[in-house]
């Protein structure tokens, strides 16, 4: 299983991040924010297959491209249409659903569930296409436990509320740990690979405590303890548009520990720290310091301010690399 990602949009323009989680048998697709024109280079089939849309917050540069997504999925019934964002998302999304004239809608069968994330609970609101999305139906209110909003056999998504003078959500995607067979220990036991390894790797309900291998009986749990090795899966953090002060760094550093890749806005040069604080954004040095504290493997800087030119963007990258050497721009952005 592997996490792949693409940063959508150009430097100095609206951005989004498209994440694919490949389990080897299936692929889950997640979209984080949806700025203007961000989906232009994503195929129609890939957009149709997006499982979740996560908004950090609802400012224009993060939602302006939602119409593209919605135009291609408003009829979709092949999978749930699931949208996540901070408190107030259902109200904003209903406006997006209704920003065009609807007629001939009575026979439509699709529906959209919008999840408003609060500090300790989630409110889910459902909108029906056959009502022209006119009515917000309160579906469920559930507690937010351990910051986890999505939890499947393959991956989980956690959320942390940050401060952008409005709630802005930081998301962390984590693959479930990989369970593999130690082939060295397998050989030491004089055993050969076979179908029986599936029973070792994947516990089943009401399974037998023993397993037959080449005519001999073995205790299942003993074999698991001897042969199985668990390794962490990949992880990806999506962080944008919030105040990255000391308090925020202290909050994020523990939960980001050893993250595979941290994708983070980098709006301001260090010399413009006062502007960053005023607008509740980040400097490149603050971002890099957070990555260093969290011991992440890779830092990808995006959502650059158009107040700067290309030379200043490269200066911004160098400021980050001084603190965290494995800082980069998205593939294809730069330029030199």
Closest-CA residue to 264 (of 310, 304, 293)? 304
Residue 317 in contact with residue 311, Cβ under 8 Å?
no
Range list of H helices, 77-126: 89-97
- CB neighbours of 208 closer than 8 A, spacing ≥ 6? 220
Q: Residues 6 or more apart from 190 whose CB is under 8 A from it?
A: none
Catalytic residue among 6, 61, 113, 277: 61
Q: Produce one character per residue of 178-191: b if its CB has 16 or more CB atoms within 10 Å, e if not.
A: eeebeeeebeeeeb
10 Å Cβ neighbour count for 309? 10
How far, in whole angstroms, is CA 61 from its chain's centroid?
Answer: 18
CA distance linking residue 318 with residue 314, whole number of Å: 6
113: annotated active-site residue: no
Instruction: In whole angstroms, give the CA distance from residue 239 to residue 251.
Output: 13
Cis bond upstream, residue 18 (ω within 30):
no
Q: Identify the DSSP state of 52.
A: E
3-state secondary structure of 128: strand
Which class for 239: exposed (0-12), middle (13-18), buried (19 or more C-beta within 10 A)? buried
Distance from C-alpha of 222 to C-alpha of 212, rounded to nearest angstrom: 13
H or E element that contains 275:
helix 273-278
Catalytic residues: 61
């Amino acid at each position: 299983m592997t996490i792949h990602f693409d940063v959508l949009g150009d430097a100095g323009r609206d951005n989004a991040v498209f994440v694919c989680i490949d389990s080897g048998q299936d692929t889950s697709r997640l979209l984080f924010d949806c700025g203007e024109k961000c989906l232009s280079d994503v195929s129609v089939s890939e957009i149709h297959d997006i499982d979740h849309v996560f908004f950090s917050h609802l400012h224009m540069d993060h939602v302006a491209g939602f119409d593209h997504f919605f135009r291609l999925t408003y009829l979709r019934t092949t999978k749930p249409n699931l949208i996540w964002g901070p408190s107030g998302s259902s109200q904003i999304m209903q406006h997006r659903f209704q920003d065009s004239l609807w007629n001939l809608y009575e026979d439509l069968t699709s529906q959209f569930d919008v999840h408003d994330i609060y500090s300790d609970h989630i409110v889910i609101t459902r909108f029906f296409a056959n009502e022209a999305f006119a009515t917000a139906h309160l579906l469920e209110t559930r507690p937010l436990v351990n910051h986890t909003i999505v939890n499947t056999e393959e991956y989980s998504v956690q959320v942390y509320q940050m401060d952008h003078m409005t709630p802005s959500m930081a998301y962390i995607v984590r693959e479930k740990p990989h369970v593999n067979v130690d082939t060295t220990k397998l050989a030491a036991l004089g055993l050969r690979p076979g179908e029986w390894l599936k029973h070792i790797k994947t516990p089943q309900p009401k399974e037998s405590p023993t397993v037959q291998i080449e005519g001999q009986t073995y205790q299942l749990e003993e074999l698991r303890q001897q042969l199985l090795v668990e390794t962490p899966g990949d992880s990806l953090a999506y962080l944008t548009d919030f105040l990255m002060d000391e308090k925020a760094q202290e909050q994020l550093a523990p939960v980001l520990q050893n993250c595979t890749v941290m994708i983070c806005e980098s709006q301001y040069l260090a010399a413009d720290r006062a502007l960053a604080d005023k607008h509740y954004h980040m400097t490149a040095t603050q971002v890099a310091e957070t990555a260093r504290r969290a011991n992440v493997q890779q830092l990808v800087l995006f959502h650059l301010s158009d107040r700067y030119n290309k030379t200043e963007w490269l200066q911004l990258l160098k400021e980050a690399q001084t603190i965290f050497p494995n800082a980069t721009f998205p593939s294809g952005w730069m330029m030199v």
